[in-house]
Amino acid sequence: MVFLAGIDEAGYGPFVGPLVHGYSLFRVPDFDTELWSELATSCDRKPARTDKRRLWVNDSKKVHQGTLGRGRLERTVAAFRQILNTDTMLDTWLSEKPAPTAKDLHHAPWFKDLAIPFCPSTTLARSKLDASSVQRDLYNAGCNLNAFGARVVPAAEYNNFLDTLGNKGATNFEIAMQCARHIIEITGDAPLRIELDQHGGRTDYRHVLSKALNPQKIEVHGENSGGSTYSLHFSERTVQLRFSSGADLAHLPVALASLAAKQSRERMMDCFNDYWCEQFPDLKPTKGYGVDGKRWLADIEPHLDDLQIDRAILRRKR
């Protein structure tokens, strides 16, 4: 048996709100196991409108689109969460490894109380049925879901990473590697492959992987614009990492990681907007991206001094 894992992010570009990396880990018979096929009874990249049985597992942008997107996202994440943990609260999910410190997680007043349902639009009964369907597919294929979670980075912690590491790209990569280190730790000495999306236009990851994961040796299998593949040799095992364009469209563990990251960020932004709209009922909520993120910051800026809000916990420096 071997392990297949995926890591993906949500929230790399906004002005406000957290950066989140999701991860998923499966035990499978071999590295050629095609999880899209093995889970075909319970999951699909895009189920037909009339298909109420199967879950959407795809790039989070595709799952989350349209008026029904949030419900699709929550149903899938809740089902896979149910397989491993019956706790349905956001704060429990965000506190599981690899997690920020409690101080970093709850530092901002809008994140003080995260004891809210993680996937509120989905009932527990629905999640149990969906989880049973996924588990049946996994069992029939000789597979198992071993880990599913997210590492959230609120703005204040994100800014601290920027100060230490120097730029957004290095910060994003460090959070991905925190997830990778967690996956490597919990899989013991077993063979492991981790699939990741490419980080910007980077093709050479040797130096950053050496620094982040400290292997004894790195074997390069290919480095080009389409993707880069490495075998990291440790004393008792070899771990393969593959960075590829569109990994969340090609690999189910990455797609599932993308959904975990997206749902985590969506729920934290719910808390963020609830806090600010309670202070200022006429304030329009934001997702924090682009023109709307700048609009929101301009609307709130005149009030920050009166509220004694430190800008470093509110908005990202970059």
User: pLDDT tens, position by position, for the chain (318 residues)?
Assistant: 999 999 999 999 999 999 999 999 999 999 999 999 999 999 999 999 899 999 999 999 999 999 999 999 999 999 999 999 999 999 999 999 999 999 999 999 999 999 999 999 999 999 999 999 999 999 999 999 999 999 999 999 999 999 999 999 999 999 999 999 999 999 999 999 999 999 988 999 999 999 999 999 999 999 998 899 999 999 889 999 999 999 999 999 999 999 999 999 999 999 999 999 999 999 999 999 999 999 999 999 999 999 999 999 999 998
Can you give the chain as a three-state secondary structure string? CEEEEEEEEECCCCCECCEEEEEEEEEECCCCCCHHHHCCCCEECCCCCCCCCCEECCCHHHHCCCCCHHHHHHHHHHHHHHHHCCCCEHHHHHHCCCCCCHHHHHCCHHHCCCCCECCCCCCHHHHHHHHHHHHHHHHHCCCEEEEEEEEEECHHHHHHHHHHHCCHHHHHHHHHHHHHHHHHHHCCCCCEEEEEECCCCCCCCHHHHHHHHCCCEEEEEEEECCEEEEEEECCCCEEEEEEECCHHHHCHHHHHHHHHHHHHHHHHHHHHHHHHHHHCCCCCCCCCCHHHHHHHHHHHHHHHHHHCCCHHHHECCC
pLDDT of residue 208: 97
pLDDT of residue 41: 97
Instruction: Determine contact, residues 56/72, Cβ cutoff 8 Å.
Output: yes
Residue 284 belongs to what domain range? 2-314
Measure the CA–CA gap between 214 and 108, rounded to whole angstroms: 34
CA distances (Å), origin 170, targets 23, 164, 165, 199: 19, 10, 6, 10
Count of domains for the chain: 1
The domain that contains 260 carries what CATH number? 3.30.420.10
| Count of Cβ atoms closer than 10 Å to residue 20 Cβ | 25
Measure the CA–CA gap between 10 and 269, rounded to whole angstroms: 12
pLDDT of residue 267: 98
pLDDT of residue 259: 98
Nearest to 155 by CA among 27, 282, 268: 268
Instruction: Determine contact, residues 88/78, Cβ cutoff 8 Å.
Output: yes
pTM (global) more than 0.95:
yes
pLDDT of residue 318: 86
Measure the CA–CA gap between 316 and 153, rounded to whole angstroms: 11
Tokens of 94: 């965000």
**What backbone torsions phi and psi does residue 117 show, to the nearest 5 degrees?**
-60, 140
